[in-house]
Amino acid sequence: MRKTLAVAAMGAMVLLGSALVANASSAATQGHGQAVSNRAYEIALIGDMPYGDIGRTQFPGVIKEINADRDIQFTVFDGDIKNGSERCDQPQYDLAAQNFASFRRPLVYVPGDNEWTDCDRANNGSYDPNERLALVRKMFASTPRSLGQRTFPLQRQSAAFPENVRWQYGAVTYVGLNIPGSDNNAPQFDASGKQIDGDQAEYTARNAANLDWLDKGFAAAKAAHSKAIVITLQADMWTEPTAHFADTKKKLAQLAIGFPGQVLLVNGDSHFLKIDKPLTDAKNQVIENVTRVQTFGSDQNHWVSAEIDPSDPNVFTFHQHIVAANQPTYVSP
């Protein structure tokens, strides 16, 4: 059963209840610089899977449901192709490529921390994170098209940052960014001041590129007269440590305040479904045109869809999809 998750227009209250879902039709236009369509459609939002043996058993059920839902036009995967305790060996990436190739319709992927920043952990194989990021870019960001059996064109930021993408679908502009958890791969220090994680040079260059890509994404949305913009990244920027997400949140707040439409932020990282309005201005006032959807993940192998209706002032309506076969046996307290 499809459940509707409606975000109140003037607050962060989430109302859950059953609802009839309109038949979402395909956007009439796609691609960059084409005319904006006001046709409604629906997309799938997933990430942080498969995690471990249970995830590898259950993730195919998620893919099967998405493939069977004819309303879904494409899927966005917000990072983490494995859990943080598994090795970053080649078979993990091969399995991810196989999984992505099993989606019948287009899939757009942005990287998570588990497939590159955290690969230097001993239990991950003590890999060089920059080498693993290069592998991610080679395998998943080397062409100007999405993943999936059917594909559509993507605009990649540059040869240096090909994982940062943008595309236009109907009346909505989409932006994907490489902003992972683990504090954005910024340097971390122990009590003695010794650096124990992160990479200052890598973080500085990528962070500057991300801020620039956000600027360009909102400019593209305005130029296309888009009714909304969707920003997808992996990190939950409101769960500690958060110091090195501050400038991303500031930039997003500045751009959202100046944008006449709705802004949707999609992230994974924390592994449970959450819909809220966490972004605030300089006076700590909620920026009402920004909604955040945090997707399922880890041991919750389910998915969320966003129905996009440009004729609706709020543009987005969210539906949770609980895969029955992936539910545990509950124990009464």
- CATH number for the domain harbouring residue 141: 3.60.21.10
Query: Is residue 223 domain-resident?
Result: yes
Query: Is residue 331 domain-resident?
Result: no
What is the percent of the chain with per-residue pLDDT over 90, rounded to a whole number?
83
Query: Is residue 232 domain-resident?
Result: yes
Distance CA 263, CA 306 (A): 13
Query: Is residue 332 domain-resident?
Result: no
90 SS3 class: helix
Q: Is 267 within 8 Å of 287 (Cβ atoms)?
A: no
Distance CA 295, CA 44 (A): 10
Tens digits of per-residue pLDDT, 72-89? Answer: 999 999 999 999 999 999
Q: Which pairing describes strands 316-321 and 3-7: parallel, antiparallel, or unpaired?
A: antiparallel
What is the percent of the chain with per-residue pLDDT over 70, rounded to a whole number?
89
Band of the pLDDT at 5, cuts 50, 70, 90?
A: low
Beta bridge pairs of residue 30:
169
Query: Is residue 247 domain-resident?
Result: yes
| Ramachandran area for residue 304 (φ above 0: left; ψ -120 to 50: alpha; else beta) | beta
Distance CA 118, CA 180 (A): 10
Tokens of 199: 């990479």
Query: Is residue 125 domain-resident?
Result: yes
Domain of residue 318: give its range.
Answer: 3-9+17-326
**How many distinct structural domains can be found in the chain?**
1
DSSP string, 148-217: SSS--B-EE--SS-TT-EEEEETTEEEEE----HHHHT--EE-TTS-EEE--HHHHHHHHHHHHHHHHHH
Distances (CA, A) of 128 to 77, 234, 294: 24, 20, 29
CB-facing half-sphere around the CA of 239: CA atoms within 13 A: 14
Give yes or no for residue 1 having a pLDDT over 90: no
Tokens of 23: 């038949």
Predicted pLDDT of residue 297: 98
Give yes or no for residue 9 having a pLDDT over 80: no
Tokens of 311: 């004729």
Mean pLDDT, the chain, rounded, equals 90
Query: Is residue 288 domain-resident?
Result: yes
Band of the pLDDT at 31, cuts 50, 70, 90?
A: very low
Give mean pLDDT, residues 215-228. 98
Query: Is residue 141 domain-resident?
Result: yes
